[in-house]
Amino acid sequence: MSLLEIDRLDVRHGLLQAVRGVSFNVEKGETLAIVGANGAGKTTLLRAIAGAHEPAGGTISFGGREITGVPAHRRAALGVALVPEGRRLFAQMSVEENLILARAAGRSGAWDIDAVMAAFPNLQARRKAKAGSLSGGEQQATAIGRALMTNPEILMLDEVSLGLSPLAVDRVYASLQTLMSSGATIVLVEQDLRRAMKAADRIICMLEGRIVLEAKRGEVSRDDITAAYFGIRGRHGSAEANP
C-alpha cells in the first residue's frame, strides 16, 4: 500500500481548472520530484494535498485513509507537512520560536530543535535571530526545520531553490540528502531540472494541470523532461499520459 495516493484529482481557482484528473502514488521512503513551467499546477497540487485548497473532484488518501475532506490541521496531525513557496515564516520571531510553534501538531518523534540544528548546522549560530533578518538560504532551512518539527510522515517542499544563491541551494540540498538517506518520504517541486534529476527517485512533469511524463530516475533523460515541460511529445510521455 502506498503512503500517498492521488486519484483523478481536480482543483480549481474559480473558473480556472488548475489541476486536471491527476493520479499518482508515493511510496514510503521515496523522493518524488514534480517539475513543470509556471502555471502548470504544481503549487496548487501540493496545497490540495496539504488541505489548504479544497479539490473540486477526485480523492486523496494517506496511509490507507481517505483524507480528501479532512481539514489542514488534522492532516498535519496525521503526518502531512508542507513547506510553502515563499517560506512564510514569522519574521519578528526568532528561528527557535518559529520551530517551537510547529510542536502544535502534537506528533511525537525524533525531530526536536537539537535535531533540526544538527540537520541544518548553519542555523545554530542564528537560532536566536529574528527570521526576518536571515538570508534566503537560512530562511529556507528554518522553514524546512519547522516542518520537520511536526515529525511528518511525508514532507512536501514547494520551489526548494527559488530565489536562493547557488551556495545556499547547495547547503539546503546537502541537508535534504541527509533526510533522503534516512528514509524520509519527500515530495519536492523544483525548477532546477538538474537538481530534481539528481535528488529524486522518480520524476513527474506537469503541463497545464495534467501529468504528461512520469518516470524513474535513470529511465528518462533531460531532453525527455524538457520536451514534456514544453508540451512536445516524446519517448516517455505525452499529453495522453494522464488525460
> Mind listing the pLDDT tens digit for each residue in 124-149?
999 999 999 999 999 999 999 999 99
In this prediction, residue 105 carries a pLDDT of 67
Task: Please tell me which residue, 112 or 1, carries the higher pLDDT value.
Answer: 112
Say if residues 44 and 83 touch (Cβ distance below 8 Å). no
**Confidence at 106, pLDDT banded by 50, 70, 90:** low
In this prediction, residue 108 carries a pLDDT of 85
3-state DSSP assignment of residue 12 = strand
**Confidence at 241, pLDDT banded by 50, 70, 90:** very low
Q: Is the pLDDT of residue 234 over 70?
A: no
**33: its cell numbers:** 520530484
Q: Across residues 44-70, what is the average pLDDT? A: 97
Residue 212: CB atoms within 10 A of its CB come to 26
CA distances from 235 to 37, 95, 193, 195, 230 (A): 20, 46, 18, 22, 14
In this prediction, residue 146 carries a pLDDT of 93
In this prediction, residue 175 carries a pLDDT of 87
Sheet holding 4-13, edge to edge: 16-26, 4-13, 57-62, 65-66
Mean pLDDT over each residue of the chain, to the nearest integer: 91
Q: Across residues 164-191, what is the average pLDDT? A: 89
In this prediction, residue 243 carries a pLDDT of 38
Residue 88: CB atoms within 10 A of its CB come to 12
In this prediction, residue 114 carries a pLDDT of 94
pLDDT in tens, 180-205: 888 899 999 998 899 999 999 999 99
Domains and CATH numbers, the chain: 4-84+151-229 (3.40.50.300)
What percent of the chain has a predicted confidence (pLDDT) above 70?
95
Of 30-39, 59-68, 98-107, give the lowest mean pLDDT range.
98-107
